[in-house]
Amino acid sequence: MSLAHSPLILDIAGLDLSASDRRRLEHPLTGGVILFGRNWKDRSQLTELCASIKAVREDLLILVDHEGGRVQRFRTDDFTHLPAMGALGRLWMQADPACSGDPALRACEAATACGYVLGAELRACGVDMSFAPVLDLDHGRSAVICDRAFHRDPRIVALLARSLMHGLLQAGMANCGKHFPGHGYVQADSHTDIPVDGRSLKAILSDDARPYPWLGTVLSSIMPAHVIYPKVDARPAGFSPRWLGSILREQLGFGGAVFSDDLSMAGARLIDGRQVTYTEAAVVALQAGCDLVLLCNQSLDGSRVLDDWLEGMGQAQQQGQWSPVQASELRRLALLPSQPPLGWDDLMLEPAYLRALDLIP
């Protein structure tokens, strides 16, 4: 079977598809859509929007950052408000004499419940996957990670993340561990700055990156950090063949898909000491080993940024700067759900869903 590689993930402007949105989604290099709060009004509107995206091309991934806590794009009473993952880590550490049972087991059960509710509610509306869970460690110094992290201990992070992934799997949803090899140690926010982590490779692999090999059999995809680790490579991890090829693929044996983080973030704008265009950043990320590359929040106010990006990536492909990889396309398609979702009304009566709601802290 011959597959056209569709590695570009882009955004749309509003609550429904414009003519410009449809034209971009029809482009053969477009592999998916990432949704934001501006694309959400209520459950009915979201369901119609997702159906209209799939009507353009059924194989397009519909993605969202929907972790719980402050990173939950769809918030009204239509969706369960999930706790930040740090709440599960605190539950693990809780020794309450009034509570029966082991707190670690309760925390794992709650994590599974959160994963199932998160996945089932999104899938009932047509969303394929959320970029979750965060595998960063909570070093107590990163404002952008903070309580998005489960815990400081990589063993606890791995076990809670595995439990949450199990819940996602029950709902028929893939997962994405982020931000490899770890964003929790640095203070700077890669949305607005270029964080630098000066530790050695040995220190990083023995601490922040420990969850990745422990979760190797269950991780569907990962997202690398826009962080520079100068003792390993001068490039941010998401643009580094050493991080993504030598370390992640070869040393740690990861076989799933690799998403870039948003290429419009400050941490992605400087590569090899030079300001780069969005097309240049995407080409470097694909050359380094990313399977899919994201460019977010560029569809607003009639902007031509996404049109120029699609055109530029097509030209770069024709010039041989990047080549389609069938394995990458297969990894993208593997992230699509393999089973039909429960409709919302059926979900509201599903015993497993109702039990899960009771377990969410």
Q: Which residue numbers are catalytic? A: 191, 261
Q: CB–CB of 94/317 below 8 Å?
A: no
The residue written with tokens 């692999």 in the block is: 205
Q: H/E element holding 88?
A: helix 85-93
Angle, CA of 233, 239 and 240, to the nearest 5°: 35
Angle, CA of 260, 264 and 268, to the nearest 5°: 60
Neighbour-count burial of 301, counting CB atoms closer than 10 A to its CB (0-12 exposed, 13-18 middle, 19+ buried) = exposed
d(Cα 325, Cα 71) in Å, to the nearest integer?
A: 32
Query: In DSSP terms, which residues pair with 293 in a beta bridge?
Result: 8
Written as one string, the DSSP assignment of 214-280 is HTTTT--EEEE-S-B-TTT-SSBGGG-HIIIIIIIIIIS---SEEEEEETTSGGGSEETTEE--HHH
> What is the separation of C-alpha 220 from the centre of its chain, rounded to a whole number of angstroms?
10
d(Cα 104, Cα 115) in Å, to the nearest integer?
A: 17
Closest CA to 267 of 155, 183, 151: 183
> What is the separation of C-alpha 203 from the centre of its chain, rounded to a whole number of angstroms?
25
d(Cα 242, Cα 261) in Å, to the nearest integer?
A: 17
